[in-house]
Structure 1
């Protein structure tokens, strides 16, 4: 039976090598919407519910549900087999008004199976199409590679659709060349082009109003969205700063800050690195005044103190020692005031290897129930370091705590002192590196009236003045009792230099960051709030709203547009940070040195493999030295494996499944160490069974023959075992007797991944970098064509 199955697969593979595959429509992305669906008994032959046959919709809108459905079918050309399953009418707030919109869900079902859906949103007052998205459950769809429709072709499709659907907006928009651009060339046909056309007001783009489309590589429009607010009042601009003047103001306002970060995919043992960070800022385009964030999520924020809690540490780091459950509970009870009636009702001990530091961490997790007279009143929990006995967090909660406006509340100053004392008590070895974030007093105005029961405080950990972004300390103080109700101290165990390292000057950091950012002139909205006839700051509004003390409709809101120059990141294909020591850019994921401007190969212009070589250079599968990629040089085994692994993973790094920590970073080959640039690729290839350990050596600098490359490619396709049936795959070449992997050679030639010379395969010939690039490009094409859809039963 197994032999028969293999023969059938062999026949299918042979046919695939001889036939071209017809392109099919790509999958459409689904967009989930909360749509109100009414139950109905009338079911069409396709299995969908026809809502309009069941009842009339009791809503008051200029556009009825029936009219909205007709418009939706007109705009989007919804096939007849798609029936309306759900509809809802929603009101949406605008800057100075509101609008109603119909949301319509159309579905296609056959024999009860969901085969597709189309969601459409129609302006219920004007009938304008606001949005549509589609999803098709077509498991046989296989997007072609290379792409049938590139980004420039998608733009032409988008403009034609906008002309048809939103002609009135066509003259008010301009193409945004930066939005949705995929800087790396695709490695598969499963590509969706995201295009955006920004609204233009007085010749200036307003980037928060736009028309957006998503078009797949087959040319199908998957999604359309009109984000537009006609109620916004834009200021009339008489004069504004020039771009040069704005750049000068932005430079003056730029304040880079030193921070310790840890690249999350750093190879080997992770270590903190010192970086200069500069957040994007904005200035008034007329006055040059520095502007705050218009949509800032201001909540429990404040100003970081200039000085630490103490000049010197108040104690030493606790020494490692095994802590029992009884000891852990005793530590918590001595450190915090557990409410009367607290009884330990659960505990858990766990050990875990910290992938960042390579150390074993142990914690006790404790839970208490708080009761009185047999009635449960609340709960408490804590976690304690199982090695040192230091409390990592503590939390207590009283059920149904009564809020009395007459309660006497402690002052913010007293609560601040209590929070500082708590941190000094629990983290004495760190007090010289901890800085209080002073809360804005406005947050706690009218606390008794609002029933606010807690003051919240945060502390920043700094080492030699550089913030440790991954550490977090917070304390909550009860506003009546002054007791600690919440304490969190999530601190890493990384080691830091005893002395502050020498860093580049701030001016150099600013220069580098302003090269990373570009200056954009645009509008943004600023909201002002009034409650009970009095203006309130946005921070207080958000706090009241978050606490449930006010409703949004109780506050009068006015929205104004302001013109700003702001910093926005340039288009680059990776997340980066500025190394404060070297002054160079590094990849934020891996920590490896990189550049904002990628090196371009100067020696492949006009080369027969130029396109394929550019692809490999873009994904860093081939290096560029002194502007040269050396296409006619022999490719190495390390380079070839890197190409293969990147090709199989659509260009994504295999990740550091291997070697995240000092203990886990064990090399499988004696000549590919954990700090080798090929380490993760070689280990990934081994994990995927593309190579084997053999004698324990890999020889990354060794050359590769055509025979070896053929086997690698067939392994990547998943047909290596099948290729060994030489009676099925016969290599009838002039030099067949010299080929070690004859079945593999037959497959790569049959799939046109590798070619013959005078009917010779030339198995011993060594492969150049250009030849390898072409072979893997063709591998990607064949992989797309050979993709087999799952069998439907």
Structure 2
């Protein structure tokens, strides 16, 4: 058995748990009545700031005293040992505008290392509201390996919370916890605790904390809490089934084509697609007042205005289409002179005579986002107006002489709803947009979604919401019953002058798409996507005053959707087989956590398996520690380890073309084989890959040595010695890799037999990969 240093890992973990002793800061002084300010704490240019007109409740000196003690206790920083750059500001708390805070920023760096930290203090009570800390060495590459399990990190996090916010854990519920990469060099655990009243969450009472997954240190802390809150009564609220009915009425799905692109090259015109379902209108984000049943917006205020919708009738579309003809392809692309002449003609029709052509440029392929691989002429121009000169560009298809893109750039100060002097209504802007399509691309009118909707914005800050000087219309391509987002017509009309500011037609004439046959029905897809959510009651804090500096707070009791499993929430659904897929079109595994935990419980690899699973390196579905691992599963683990570590070694080029005879680009695991070739883990050979074949222990060792970048060194087999009892059974080609692995401690030194020809078990693969992760720096 390949038990590689498991006892050593446990010893290191025990040492880590004793490196930080957490004690309560103790009773902090109340500075509420201290409003005196001496000259030495006044603002220094470029460093210290006090909000104009305010006299701080706590002096800068007193704030810095708390900051110094806090940094020393929680992150081990002694401000006297280094020449820190320090900046301070006294201002309103952005999250609680009725309160004031001191914010202290610290920064230190030299050629070898850096330290950054910031602390936010309640200026009345001196309590720590926020703490952020990061430190590292510039010479490090990649991320430090995870050493703490999620439960160990949670214990550490709760110890910190008990010290920083006594009594708050007992009033909270754990909402979310996950492992993810942070600051590029650390793997951290994030824990979110939300306050509860009557077993109902209250979002405004929360603690968010992140813990370094390697050494258990505190990385960030954010805490806000209303100690006394007048809550709405539970009496008279609508029943949950009624609330669900109201919210479900706002939920529907749409069919769309999702491009599948290569990891190595962004294809402007993709070749492969999935047909999928997604939730419309941003998914299950609705919220209603639990008493009135009225819909609420993101801020918790009632939605008073309904969306204004406009569309063409079928007869209008038929009339436009009936007068259309598709452009013919020229025998030769436009030359520069003809392109500029054509551009002047089109611009004259759109703008007038005051046009000056500045430059013209010919491109082919994927030079511009709009062209989608076409041959184009891009003509830049200026427009002389009464009081200014504006610039623009016109992109023309060199084969068909069509307009692909038109842009005109003017400077207009952003206005607000209360002083907007629009001369064109939104509906009139829509008519102008349709006229453009009718003039330049009438043959596409039946291939786009012509319906448009507009919802008037609410209020923001102490004045009406800033609004764009333009009306924007987006007409996506419709193919059969499915949307294809990457093809569309976009139009922007100046609401003050009526001028066309943007007209872009991104269109790929020929696409190879999956058929729309044998698909899940929309109601089936809706149920599958909707079942990821749970309806819950919650208290939310709402500011009913548009002036955020003088808030008028109230608490609402609401019904809302909550993801049942936040970390595994899927936005898309394969319309053919009903499997969940991510934004790139890759299938999302449906993880059986209970079976995984039962399989590893009490096993020597339990802790390592947990650490790798939490990072997504180990696939928990079907993980049986003592069963042999298939070649493709071993490859997936190694590629995920490198991706998770932030390690990017392009050791071998040319993986775009995979030579293995049984590996197709459409295969789900194709990208893993591509990256394994690119990372140099395996060789790209014109032979059978044998996905499901067992991997011998000697072959597995060679792949991990390749992963670490020692492939060339391992080939020098004559410089290595091995003293295993069964060394004669080791193939000569793997001799160097096995010796390197033993020297690095990837294989336990107490192992007297290597058993080179035996199949590698899942547990052995996991343990050796975990040991290898410490060398990815």
- Normalising to structure 1: TM-score of the pair? 0.74
2:67 maps to which residue? 72
- Contact in 2 for aligned 1:575/1:589 (Cα 8 Å): no
Whether 2:580 is the aligned partner of 1:585: answer yes
- How many Å apart are 1:223 and its aligned residue? 1.1
- How many Å apart are 1:66 and its aligned residue? 0.8
- Three-state SS of the structure 2 residue aligned to 1:745 is helix
- How many Å apart are 1:406 and its aligned residue? 13
- Three-state SS of the structure 1 residue aligned to 2:272 is coil
Whether 2:311 is the aligned partner of 1:305: answer yes
1:88 maps to which residue? 89
1:180 maps to which residue? 177
2:287 maps to which residue? 282
Once the two structures are superposed, the pairs formed by residues 475-624 of structure 1 within 5 Å of their partners are 475-479=491-495, 481-493=497-509, 495=511, 501=517, 503-528=519-544, 558-571=552-565, 572-573=567-568, 575-592=570-587, 594-595=589-590, 600=595
1:100 maps to which residue? 100
- Contact in 2 for aligned 1:94/1:231 (Cα 8 Å): no
- How many Å apart are 1:216 and its aligned residue? 0.9
Residue of 383, 408, 426 corresponding to 1:396: 408
Cα distance in 1 for residues equivalent to 2:470 and 2:185: 54
- Contact in 1 for aligned 2:287/2:560 (Cα 8 Å): yes
- Three-state SS of the structure 2 residue aligned to 1:211 is strand
Whether 2:360 is the aligned partner of 1:347: answer yes
- Three-state SS of the structure 2 residue aligned to 1:135 is strand
- How many Å apart are 1:220 and its aligned residue? 0.9
Cα distance in 1 for residues equivalent to 2:560 and 2:420: 48
- How many Å apart are 1:556 and its aligned residue? 7.8
- How many Å apart are 1:377 and its aligned residue? 1.7
- How many Å apart are 1:604 and its aligned residue? 6.6
Instruction: Structure 2: state its 5+ residue gaps.
Output: 18-41, 265-269, 459-465
- Contact in 2 for aligned 1:523/1:562 (Cα 8 Å): yes
2:135 maps to which residue? 136
Task: Check 1:579–1:303 CA distance in 2 against 1; reply closer, same or farther (3 A cut).
Answer: farther
2:659 maps to which residue? 668
- How many Å apart are 1:487 and its aligned residue? 2.0
Cα distance in 2 for residues equivalent to 1:402 and 1:216: 44
- Contact in 2 for aligned 1:265/1:590 (Cα 8 Å): no
1:199 maps to which residue? 195
- Three-state SS of the structure 1 residue aligned to 2:177 is coil
Task: Check 1:130–1:756 CA distance in 2 against 1; reply closer, same or farther (3 A cut).
Answer: closer
Cα distance in 1 for residues equivalent to 2:741 and 2:644: 20
Once the two structures are superposed, the pairs formed by residues 431-446 of structure 1 within 5 Å of their partners are 431-432=445-446, 433-439=448-454
Report Cα offsets for 1:92-131 as digits up to 9, x if no partner.
Answer: 4567x53322221234467x87642321112223322221
2:681 maps to which residue? 690
- How many Å apart are 1:421 and its aligned residue? 0.9
1:646 maps to which residue? 640
Cα distance in 1 for residues equivalent to 2:649 and 2:317: 42
- Contact in 1 for aligned 2:274/2:514 (Cα 8 Å): no
Residue of 245, 251, 255 corresponding to 1:254: 251
1:537 maps to which residue? none
Whether 2:380 is the aligned partner of 1:367: answer yes
Task: Check 1:262–1:357 CA distance in 2 against 1; reply closer, same or farther (3 A cut).
Answer: farther
Once the two structures are superposed, the pairs formed by residues 638-787 of structure 1 within 5 Å of their partners are 638-650=632-644, 666-693=657-684, 696-725=687-716, 728-739=719-730, 740=732, 741-754=734-747, 759-763=752-756, 765-770=757-762, 773-784=763-774, 786=775
- How many Å apart are 1:730 and its aligned residue? 0.7
1:543 maps to which residue? none
Report Cα offsets for 1:257-295 as digits up to 9, x if no partner.
Answer: 344433556999322514142511223223444444437
Once the two structures are superposed, the pairs formed by residues 10-89 of structure 1 within 5 Å of their partners are 38=44, 60-77=55-72, 78-79=77-78, 80-82=80-82, 83=84, 85-89=86-90
- Contact in 2 for aligned 1:68/1:122 (Cα 8 Å): yes
- Three-state SS of the structure 2 residue aligned to 1:98 is coil
Instruction: Structure 1: state its 5+ residue gaps.
Output: 1-15, 27-35, 41-48, 444-449, 531-551, 789-793
- Contact in 2 for aligned 1:726/1:742 (Cα 8 Å): yes
Cα distance in 1 for residues equivalent to 2:702 and 2:696: 10
Q: Which moved more, 1:316-325 or 1:115-124?
A: 316-325
